[in-house]
Amino acid sequence: MNITHTITNQNGEVIEAISNDEWQKSLEEMEANKKVHRHGWSDNAECKMCGRKMSNAALAKARSVHMTTSGDLVPVNANIGDLSQGFFEVGSECAKRVPKGFATKAGA
Ligand SMILES: [Zn+2]
* DSSP track, 46-70: BPTTT-PBPPHHHHHT-EEEEEETT
48 CA from centroid of ligand 1 (Å): 7
101 CA from centroid of ligand 1 (Å): 17
Contact 73, 17 (CB under 8 A): yes
78 CA from centroid of ligand 1 (Å): 22
Does position 106 have pLDDT exceeding 70, yes or no? yes
Cα separation, 1 vs 37, whole angstroms = 26
* pTM confidence score: 0.91
12 CA from centroid of ligand 1 (Å): 33
pLDDT tens column, 3-44 = 999 999 999 999 999 999 999 999 999 999 988 877 888 888
